[in-house]
Amino acid sequence: MKVAFNVQPLKTGHRTRGVGAYTKNLLEQLKETDLEIQEFNDISEVKNADIVYYPWFDLFFKSLKLIRKIPTVITVHDVMPLLYPSNYPLGIRGKINFYLQKSALRKCQRIITVSKCSKKDIVSLLKIKEDKITVIPEAVSKEFKPLSEAKLLSHKRKYDLPDRFLLYVGDANFVKNLPFLIKGFKLLKEDQKFNDIKVALVGGVFLKKVDDIDHPELESLKQLNKLIRDYNLDNSIIRPGQVSEEELVCFYNLATVYIQPSLYEGFGLPLLEAMSCGTPVLSSKSSSLPEVGGEAAIYFDPSNLNQFVTLLKDLLNDKSLQIKLSRLGLTRVQLFSWEKVASDVKKVFESCL
């Protein structure tokens, strides 16, 4: 079977985000199968393919052609902007593109998504038939694993990391709920037992100067920066910027707890990355996150600050609980692999012929 695989996410801003990781890992794994893969950026490049595949879908930019001659499969990771429309305002062009993209999506032979939560939202908000959508969870690359203390020492020195710190990895948009994290961190620091703890915010977005930029998608980052200043927490916040995958693995390994405070996630890949490194996870119980973490994480209501701080203190105080979560996490991640993702995606391709 000849599959034309769109690689555009590897050449745009997506390459350092979850969509880029998904595209890279799935492409590499599909090449290990008996499929004949042709990479393309624009559909005009595709010749003699049996299936055209897009590893991502954009609601508001014309990435899908409305009229297509070749059966098309697409992965829709989430429809977050439709759930929080006030945080993703559309102009006239955006509304037109959304109408065209929605029409093009409905003409795809099959749709893949990464969680049951996302499938429910796609059915509800885009009016796609359930039997057209297949849920295939993501996975993490094999580089995410526990490392020896000797390997981690130089990384700890490079970033001057304390013995205990909390970790967050990702973007800083509204749904990430990072002001909530900083408010909880302030309450934690009021207890002298936790005065040594810092927070590492890993991602290029945390080094951006945004105070003078007026854009709704930057409001959460502005609020985050303001809270850090107002609470005098600058010396307790570590901002390494965008790091390599090798360095990211080190951050996960060294962190005391990984925290995911999100209001919504289509999947929540950092949970699996943290668990793969043996890092205890404290996560919001919203959207798809309990699907990903299962019983290997502790969950909190992302609107209940007192509950979050109480659970965080309990976890930091209980070494045996940290060890238990670490073991549960390492077991949990065995359920996810790129080999399985590729195998399931291949079955979707075959069902279209």
Is 69 in the same domain as 110? yes
In a domain, 8, yes or no: yes
Is 25 in the same domain as 126? yes
In a domain, 170, yes or no: yes
Angle between helices 319-332 and 305-317 (to 10 degrees): 100
In a domain, 144, yes or no: no
Is 106 in the same domain as 254? no
In a domain, 202, yes or no: yes
Measured distance CA(351)–CA(14) in Å, rounded: 29
In a domain, 30, yes or no: yes
pLDDT-derived band of residue 93, with 50, 70 and 90 as boundaries? confident
Radius of gyration in angstroms for the set of CA atoms belonging to the chain, rounded to a whole number: 21
Is 270 in the same domain as 288? yes
Instruction: Quote the pLDDT of residue 216.
Output: 64
**Quick check: 317 and 279 in contact, CB under 8 A?**
no
Is 177 in the same domain as 287? yes
Q: How many CB atoms lie within 10 A of CB 27?
A: 19
In a domain, 297, yes or no: yes
Is 316 in the same domain as 169? yes
* 183-220 pLDDT tens trace: 999 999 999 999 999 999 999 999 888 776 776 677 88
Is 113 in the same domain as 174? no
What mean pLDDT comes out for the span 253-276? Answer: 97
What one-character DSSP code corresponds to residue 261?
-
* 286-325 pLDDT tens trace: 999 999 999 999 999 999 999 999 999 999 999 999 999 9
In a domain, 164, yes or no: yes
Q: Which of 179, 201, 333 is nearest to 262 (CA)?
A: 179
Instruction: Quote the pLDDT of residue 307.
Output: 98
Helix, coil or strand: residue 185: helix
Q: How many CB atoms lie within 10 A of CB 264?
A: 22
This model's pTM is above 0.85: yes
Angle (CA) 157 161 164, round 5°: 140
Is 164 in the same domain as 296? yes
Is 215 in the same domain as 322? yes
Complete DSSP assignment for 39-62 = EESSGGG--S-SEEEES---SSS-
Q: Burial code of 121-150, b = ≥16 C-beta within 10 A, e = fewer?
A: bbeeebebeeeebbebbbbbbeebeebeee
Measured distance CA(238)–CA(336) in Å, rounded: 30
Measured distance CA(130)–CA(109) in Å, rounded: 13
What one-character DSSP code corresponds to residue 236?
G
Is 129 in the same domain as 200? no
Residue 350 backbone dihedrals phi, psi, to 5 degrees: -65, -30
Instruction: Quote the pLDDT of residue 150.
Output: 87
Q: What is the CATH number of the domain that holds 214?
A: 3.40.50.2000
Instruction: Quote the pLDDT of residue 65.
Output: 81
In a domain, 55, yes or no: yes
Is 171 in the same domain as 88? no
Residue 4 backbone dihedrals phi, psi, to 5 degrees: -90, 120
Total structural domains in the chain?
A: 2
In which domain, by residue range, is 309 found? Answer: 149-335
Is 314 in the same domain as 328? yes
